Structure 1
Amino acid sequence: MARFKKKGNSATNFTATPSRLIAHVDMDAFYAAVEAMDQPELAGLPLVVGGLGPRSVVSAASYEARAFGVRSAMPMGQALRLCPTAAVRPVRMARYRQVSGQVMDALAAFSPLVEQISVDEAFIDLSGCRRLWGPPRQAGLAIKAAVSRACGLSCSVGLAPARFLAKIASERDKPDGLTVVEDLEGFLRTIQLREVSGVGKKAQERLAALGLKRLVDLRPLRPELLERLFGSGGARMARLAWGDDPTPIEPRRPVKSLSHELTLDRDTADRELLAALLLDLGHKVARRLRDKGLAGQSLTLKLKTSDMAIVTRSTALGAPTNDGGRIVATARGLLAAYQGRGPFRLIGVGLGRLAPAGAGQGELFDAGRQKALARAEDEVRRRFGERAIQRAAQTPSLDHDEKLVHNDE
């Protein structure tokens, strides 16, 4: 099998020039890198980002910690058994979003078509930009340099004639890598099915039982057969096997819903405690909505029981809202109406059917005083940090799991 791995400012190059050019930019161990940048004494040391509670998981690990086998989503206890000397730092989402903004601003200079996928990765459509940025390798080096100047961190970049290929290419050479795919057929023959986003573990197992492990191994199969076996995902696999991925790069994907969840250190059936937790969660959702200029028309309460069963209860809100008080009150009403006894290990609240704040018919007696108070709270937290204001009834939260759900999820 051909090897496509190079380090630093070198690149893997193929032989043909694609007519379409997509870049995938992936920040290297982003959370851990930000922590090491802010605390230089941690640079070069095993570093794990996450909580320290009994149910905490690893949110990110530096490459030094990964050398010990530490991985994202691993229980923190297991991570510290693998690497007892690792430094542990809490998740600081506000700081990561701040650095992410610097990265995205840098990428916006390369093309108007930049699609942010998460806080630490994005696609760029560079088609037609050759006269501006030169050939693919030169463009990739320029992207890496711009990101480094903007935030002082490294990224890995993959460039290819298709979106899914660009993502695979960026993952082939980490950290601080650059891979350019120009020989489409040559690169396709190196791709394992486990590398293809959207091909899940069960699909991989079914295909492996047939002796099919590489993407190109699917070519002899009729698309109708793959679609019958795997639904629309099978039809997509049939196209990808030939490198056919016309998925566009869509800037500013509309947010479909926004939620916050909390995993508890210990299961609880205490309704008063759960109601208190909703105070924190509801106001966090409200602040994120206001930051994005959005309001929601539906609310969902999510509970996970001790045996991992997920329970959701939803209600329509009528007029769109991003008012924390109303969100909390509605969520508590859903909790009170739910008769399940628990105990529960997770609680969350989310807003859906999002629209720009102020769109549609507003609430008839919407209190300007409450809006002014919310704006003042938002400004205090922006200037002095998330914990600058604590409500009297607020219970300290653990292991927050923030979710942004987009149209394609």
Structure 2
Amino acid sequence: MSRAPRSAAARRSWGEDDTGCTILHVDMDAFFASVELLDRPELRGRPVIVGGQHRGVVSAASYEARAFGVHSAMPVSRARLLCPQGVFLPGRHGRYAEVSREVMAVLAEVTPVMEQVSIDEAFLDVAGAVRRMGSPLTIGRWIRREVRARTGVPASVGVAGTKHVAKLASAHAKPDGLLLVPVEATVPFLHSLPVGALWGVGEKTRAVLERHGLDTVADVAATPLPALHRMLGVAAGQRLHELAWGIDPRRVAPGRVEKSVGTETTFAEDVTDRSVLERVLLDQAHQCGARLRADGMLTATVSIKVRMADFTTLTRSRTLPAPTDLAHDIVTAARELLAGVTIAADGVRLLGVRAERLLSAGAGVQATLDEDPHRARAERAMDGVRARFGSAVLRPASLIDTTRGSAFPGASRDLS
């Protein structure tokens, strides 16, 4: 996506009339890297890269690292070639979640009509807050000021009449800025962008559009609907045509529930030993179970992700006999799924577990007759110990590496 110029004047270039612009998109700038800089201020001004230490992918990069071409989702090996002087840090997802909760608490003071869409971004509909706090533009400025003051991390804010344009505006406001796109400027703003800026246009769709000479949003808007239907299908063609003209009826959906939780481990060396993979699954199941219990959720389906050394990726899933938040139940299903996967001779590069189809633990879900109450109490007691003394102090004995004190030396993890 192209970026707007960085100057303050450019960020105001679409005007100051925020009438009808009640949708705000708040996006934290290079969030994981910003949190690391918050805790390690001596690294400010240096290229900081958060992600797997050896063979994982980049989770976040500071703007100093981005100047070298480093970006999120890039293999860490590639990032090291582009930026050998970079400071590479492992992810600390518990810390990021803590700061995220602080940020979302600030946003919740503005309005209950808030939709958190990831750990570092949210939409707000501030129509009901205008009388109390001032105009949408004033609210956007208040949010940026308060988030910085209370959490120490920067946020960019987009203000517009629709979710789609508000998200684009916040992207153009980065880093650490605010951009208002007035309602009357919506179409000119959109038509100034490349076609890849449209929501839902990934690499494949962009390639199809560009093959037909459609390089900008203006090109899509000018294309007759029947032609877009032939290129992309009726549903996708209709959606892109509407977005190109600023039509986006989606509302901010408060109380959006996370649909899944999971964790993945990328190995420093490809693994062929199934016993090692099963130990990894046990560790991952305990992480998922702890997150479910912390959020008051149960999972009805467990899935695994297996990526071979040649990057062939397989996924398998299984519906559980009854929803659960226990690691024992999650790992039992995960190991049974792994047993059905043929491990290639050159081994496994990445292994992940995901808890899906989440339900509220307070919804009165019927437990199975053979559920062991002692096991449930034991896992909840472990939560309390870890919360007080740290996650490393208590774990199943089979996960302790006596030589290094770590379950899987050299591996990098990604929680989502």
TM-score by length of 1: 0.91
Distance in 2, Cα, partners of 1:14 & 1:353? 44
Aligned to 1:203: 205
Kindly report which structure 2 residues correspond to 1:255-270, keeping only aligned pairs within 5 A, or say none.
255-270=258-273
Distance 1:210 1:156, change over 3 A: same
Between 56-65 and 106-115, the greater mean CA deviation after superposition: 56-65
* C-alpha contact (below 8 Å) 1:2/1:190 kept by paired residues: no
Aligned to 1:61: 61
Kindly report which structure 2 residues correspond to 1:367-378, keeping only aligned pairs within 5 A, or say none.
367-378=372-383
Distance in 2, Cα, partners of 1:209 & 1:245? 26
* C-alpha contact (below 8 Å) 1:24/1:123 kept by paired residues: yes
Q: Deviation of residue 379 (structure 1)? A: 1.9
Q: Deviation of residue 17 (structure 1)? A: 4.3
* C-alpha contact (below 8 Å) 1:111/1:124 kept by paired residues: yes
Aligned to 1:407: none
Counterpart of 1:290 (choices 280, 283, 293) is 293
Give the number of equivalent residue pairs: 402
Aligned to 2:34: 33
Between 241-250 and 123-132, the greater mean CA deviation after superposition: 123-132
CA distances 1:185-229 after superposition (whole Å, capped 9, x unpaired): 332222221222311122222222332222122223233432342
Distance 1:12 1:141, change over 3 A: farther
Distance 1:15 1:33, change over 3 A: closer
Aligned to 1:110: 110
CA distances 1:107-152 after superposition (whole Å, capped 9, x unpaired): 0111111111111111111124322232332221111012112201
Unaligned runs of 5+ in 2: 400-406
* C-alpha contact (below 8 Å) 1:5/1:12 kept by paired residues: no
* C-alpha contact (below 8 Å) 1:7/1:176 kept by paired residues: no
* C-alpha contact (below 8 Å) 2:298/2:325 kept by paired residues: yes
Identical pairs, percent? 40
SS of the residue 1:372 aligns to: helix
Counterpart of 1:383 (choices 380, 388, 409) is 388
Distance in 1, Cα, partners of 2:175 & 2:389? 33
SS of the residue 1:388 aligns to: coil
Kindly indicate whether residue 157 of structure 2 is the aligned counterpart of residue 157 of structure 1.
yes
Unaligned runs of 5+ in 1: 404-409
SS of the residue 1:198 aligns to: coil
Counterpart of 2:397 (choices 371, 392, 396) is 392
Aligned to 1:401: 414
Kindly report which structure 2 residues correspond to 1:359-374, keeping only aligned pairs within 5 A, or say none.
359-374=364-379
Between 95-104 and 28-37, the greater mean CA deviation after superposition: 28-37
Kindly report which structure 2 residues correspond to 1:330-349, keeping only aligned pairs within 5 A, or say none.
330-341=333-344, 343-349=347-353
CA distances 1:321-340 after superposition (whole Å, capped 9, x unpaired): 11111211222222234445
* C-alpha contact (below 8 Å) 1:6/1:178 kept by paired residues: no
Kindly report which structure 2 residues correspond to 1:194-343, keeping only aligned pairs within 5 A, or say none.
194-231=196-233, 232-341=235-344, 343=347
Code of the residue aligned with 1:103 in structure 2: it is V
Aligned to 2:135: 135
* C-alpha contact (below 8 Å) 1:12/1:178 kept by paired residues: no
SS of the residue 2:371 aligns to: coil
Between 94-103 and 283-292, the greater mean CA deviation after superposition: 283-292
* C-alpha contact (below 8 Å) 1:136/1:180 kept by paired residues: no
* C-alpha contact (below 8 Å) 1:111/1:126 kept by paired residues: yes
Code of the residue aligned with 2:291 in structure 1: it is R
Distance in 2, Cα, partners of 1:176 & 1:63? 11
Distance in 1, Cα, partners of 2:310 & 2:344? 13
Code of the residue aligned with 2:219 in structure 1: it is D
* C-alpha contact (below 8 Å) 1:7/1:173 kept by paired residues: no
